[in-house]
Structure 1
């Protein structure tokens, strides 16, 4: 592919971007990739380089890039009516609301359409507290639910530090993270143990104080933690036993990503509230949704809902969703996610046989990760979430890019979450690129004689140094 911009033009774009805009999650001393266009699973940089989008950008471009059916639907809606008051309605609002009720688990019915996953999660929390009259929210220790002030403190990683304690009344429950469990328990034994610990937390916190248990059925950006079979069903049973709402955050795991419409479907679980975004429009335009059970919808008939947005139920976002949801079905993308997921994991397991840096391969559908370790026996992480990026992390990122992959590398987790339209040929090309790039990671393992990575340290405030 030939370049669409000269080196001087590319440099100008980078310079002006850095002068007038800010990047998220970190310092501003970066050199961003300048992209020009994308099609299918490929992204084309302004210098003409073609990459496989191995992370669906943000695990969100589920149908693939450049689908004109969505672009045409958005253009048609803009020509018809570009914006409507949240207190009005449109044909597209009725149609997408009805469609979401059809594809979500039984019992879910009423959608509150937002702009993203974070505000959908905020709407879910506020509504759960409103209808129960309780405050506490139980969350997974390594979960993540968005970046706004209301939901960032619920996350289980260092991104929450700057905003703690946030809205408060957050209680953490154990993760069903079998790879990092102590001992040699089977998955079934481990699942029972996690559920028992969770029940003890519920009893000690007081069920009468708990509004909801709020979980990602498969944790996303914090490691694609796929729970043992039975965990989500067990959590549903605990919520029923103690009169607590179950909220499933399917912002990343939902809308075909796991080879089902939603990750909850793998265990036949119906939550009381489900949230989604990302794949709802394949990120072509912003849209999220909090979907409530019919019982909660009935309760809200006589209670003023405690959520509102200028762009709630935006008709352009809904038009994109209507077109996108139709494409999942017409193109068989959910079935392809399941089939290609098996094929991809087979390739990832073969890589694990050759690369000592791969400690674990896990996933479901096209929602997968490689957990990179310094030592397979101790499971010491190769890269950490805290502190500055190590030299090895930067080298691996550069190697992935040099081998034609735009991949998500976050701490020890190398994500493998391509668009659902990917083919075996494209997966083979991605595996080849990973194979070459992982040689960099291998050099930082104990097998290569490298020392273990240092952990981040924190000093005492100066006023407390004398007390040490």
Structure 2
């Protein structure tokens, strides 16, 4: 591809960066001093720029490129769909949307029957909240402080982190503390205490907010952006029991954790529970075309047989996105991508991270499932003092300079490569972590 202003001149990183800085407004940023990394192309688990630099991807971008880059089967399906039917209104029926929905329902637990397609994860959560409110006739939605659910009206209000504060325009949102033993809000000393006290806390929130006023509990199966916080044994079952006791819809947000990321198709499968609504996006088609949705249990789906659903999107079930879903899910099954994520996570990545933690006092904790792992960095293992923002930025820069794309949030490095990554590539990434963290050992006090 040539920039129009350059005729036959070779494109440079600076050309692309300057074009971006002249015309593009970036998300979650102050715009003045941005210096974005330039990417020219990608294949598998590697990316490169216009000047010969390359990187191994341990971020999956925003934890969505589960199948890796430029998978030939997905590209072929998208090209074929362009020739056949590139776009159509959602009120019509089209073959590719039906096939995508059928494949998703086949992966879902028994008792789910319909899929409502959205553009991304935020509006998936938005519409799941809408369904729960319409179905129950109630208004309030409970969600965790340590969470991220997207940047649309209700989704950002349901989000627990600081980004909701300038955006709290939606009504009826109440937050609670989810379990996080490493920084327990409940003075717990082990997982059993953390689980029991977190569930007791949630029960009291429900009681104090009025069970008859609560439409839904919205919870990430494994909170991702908040730190890859794997729930303690029994917690998810306890949340399910509380929802059942009080007639509350349980929405599980699988936007980041779903479609192979944790070594199973859905993260909640490993906790032995079934929600009422499942939201998804990202990994369902590896981010090749924006898509998300809500997987709807039969009672809620049947309710809308004779009750009006007050929601819709111009691009709901866009054929190009649906073609990418069909091809992605078929490729994941045939190439055993979910099994690879489980094997690599359990036998290569997690043991390697634990070895790093034993070597580097900077790593306070390692946690996760599958290829959904995190290292929490601290300057003191006793006080658990987080590594500061400036130091984390320096670590991220050093990793990038060493050829590794990382996903850094606050004092954590989220280790989230594509689900297709090989053992050899994991070992290469671990070696880069080892080298870079060795340079920052002086942060430990």
TM class by smaller structure: over 0.9
List per-residue Cα deviations over 1:67-119 (Å, max 9, x = no partner). 11101101111111111111101111111111111101222221100110001
Secondary structure, aligned partner of 2:380: coil
Secondary structure, aligned partner of 2:287: coil
1:22 matched to 2:21: no
Matched residue, 1:180: 183
Residue from 172, 192, 195 that aligns with 1:191: 195
Residues 55-454 of structure 1: pairs in structure 2 closer than 5 A: 55-164=59-168, 166-181=169-184, 183=187, 185-342=189-346, 343-383=348-388, 389-390=389-390, 392-446=391-445
Residue 183 of structure 1, CA deviation: 4.1
The 8 Å contact of residues 11 and 50 in structure 2, kept in 1 or not, is answered as: no
The 8 Å contact of residues 258 and 267 in structure 2, kept in 1 or not, is answered as: yes
CA RMSD of aligned residues (A): 1.4
Residue 40 of structure 1, CA deviation: 1.0
Distance (whole Å) between structure 2 residues aligned to residue 70 and residue 283 of structure 1: 11
The 8 Å contact of residues 66 and 261 in structure 2, kept in 1 or not, is answered as: yes
Secondary structure, aligned partner of 1:151: helix
Residue 184 of structure 1, CA deviation: 5.1
Distance (whole Å) between structure 1 residues aligned to residue 237 and residue 401 of structure 2: 43
Secondary structure, aligned partner of 1:16: helix
The 8 Å contact of residues 83 and 314 in structure 1, kept in 2 or not, is answered as: yes
TM-score normalised over the length of structure 1: 0.91
The 8 Å contact of residues 396 and 440 in structure 1, kept in 2 or not, is answered as: no
Distance (whole Å) between structure 1 residues aligned to residue 174 and residue 216 of structure 2: 10
Distance (whole Å) between structure 2 residues aligned to residue 379 and residue 168 of structure 1: 36
Matched residue, 1:450: none
Residue 393 of structure 1, CA deviation: 2.2
The 8 Å contact of residues 6 and 47 in structure 1, kept in 2 or not, is answered as: no
| Structure 1 moving runs of 4+ over 6 Å | 5-8
Distance verdict in 2 for CA 1:442–1:157, change over 3 Å: farther
* Number of residue-to-residue matches in the alignment: 435
Distance (whole Å) between structure 1 residues aligned to residue 164 and residue 9 of structure 2: 40
Distance (whole Å) between structure 2 residues aligned to residue 52 and residue 323 of structure 1: 24
The 8 Å contact of residues 105 and 269 in structure 1, kept in 2 or not, is answered as: no
Distance (whole Å) between structure 2 residues aligned to residue 280 and residue 218 of structure 1: 17
Distance (whole Å) between structure 1 residues aligned to residue 9 and residue 54 of structure 2: 16
Residue 318 of structure 1, CA deviation: 0.5
Distance (whole Å) between structure 2 residues aligned to residue 126 and residue 441 of structure 1: 47
Distance (whole Å) between structure 2 residues aligned to residue 184 and residue 87 of structure 1: 52
Residue 8 of structure 1, CA deviation: 6.9
Residue 331 of structure 1, CA deviation: 0.7
Secondary structure, aligned partner of 1:274: strand
The 8 Å contact of residues 109 and 292 in structure 1, kept in 2 or not, is answered as: yes
Distance (whole Å) between structure 1 residues aligned to residue 438 and residue 29 of structure 2: 27
The 8 Å contact of residues 341 and 365 in structure 1, kept in 2 or not, is answered as: yes
Distance (whole Å) between structure 1 residues aligned to residue 329 and residue 272 of structure 2: 21
Matched residue, 1:11: 14
Distance (whole Å) between structure 1 residues aligned to residue 232 and residue 393 of structure 2: 33
TM-score normalised over the length of structure 2: 0.95
Distance (whole Å) between structure 2 residues aligned to residue 231 and residue 6 of structure 1: 59
Segments of structure 2 that go 5 or more residues without pairing to the other structure are: 1-7
The 8 Å contact of residues 246 and 273 in structure 1, kept in 2 or not, is answered as: yes
Matched residue, 2:4: none
Residue 394 of structure 1, CA deviation: 2.4
Secondary structure, aligned partner of 1:88: coil
Distance verdict in 2 for CA 1:7–1:440, change over 3 Å: farther
Distance (whole Å) between structure 2 residues aligned to residue 58 and residue 86 of structure 1: 27
Bigger drift between 168-177 and 113-122 goes to 168-177
